[in-house]
Amino acid sequence: MNYILASQSPRRRELLGKLGISFAVEPAVGEEVPNGATPQEIVQGLAASKAQEIANKHKSAADTVIIGADTVVVCDGSILGKPKDREDMAGMIRRLQGRAHEVYTGVALCYEKDGVSGCHSFAECTKVHFYSMTEEQIAAYAAHSDGLDKAGGYGIQSDAAIYISGIEGDYHNVVGLPIARLYHELAALELI
């Protein structure tokens, strides 16, 4: 099988590499338009639109799997995407500190195998618990963090790690790709 990751995220590239497969990277560039009633539906829809965009460019490619993914942070039912700026990031961290929230990653697989085309999607949820933070800690974090390109304004694998008291679920899901679930979904579809 030929695999294409429809994402520019270096974290997703690193995680997908754990499957031990060769893959190309071809980021989707279309506008992200959230659609759905629940966080699961929204991330699955966004992941599917990314995968479908790249699949449309490879319509005649046999034995090909396009992998799209999207991650959001949900706090009190509100979706927190990537912050607009450092002030927005500080506001997100202020909302998340001292409590738990959910991280949803949707994954979509658009494939062509043995002359059969298909699309399959799923969503994974992980609960993340933050320690309480002072205003000084929030300000320092927002001034220096690499969280501007991450949903919720933080990366569990980077400088926010010192404020995370625990997780319930898949750590890799919070990073941006639930790799174990992805492997089992690919295996169930006989795509790996």
Task: Assess contact for 53 and 126: CB atoms under 8 A.
Answer: no
Q: Quick one: which of 1, 112, 107, 117 has its CA closest to 50?
A: 107
Selecting among 70, 85, 88, 149, the annotated active-site residue is: 70
Q: For this structure, is 70 an active site residue?
A: yes
Count Cα atoms within 13 angstroms, Cβ side, for 19: 24
Q: How far apart are CA 159 and CA 146, in angstroms?
A: 8
**Interior angle at CA 160, CA 158 and CA 162, nearest 5:** 105
Residues 6+ apart with CB under 8 A from 113: 1, 62, 63, 65, 190, 191
**Residues in the chain, how many?**
192
Q: Quick one: which of 67, 74, 71 has its CA closest to 101?
A: 74
**Interior angle at CA 160, CA 154 and CA 145, nearest 5:** 65
Residues designated catalytic: 70
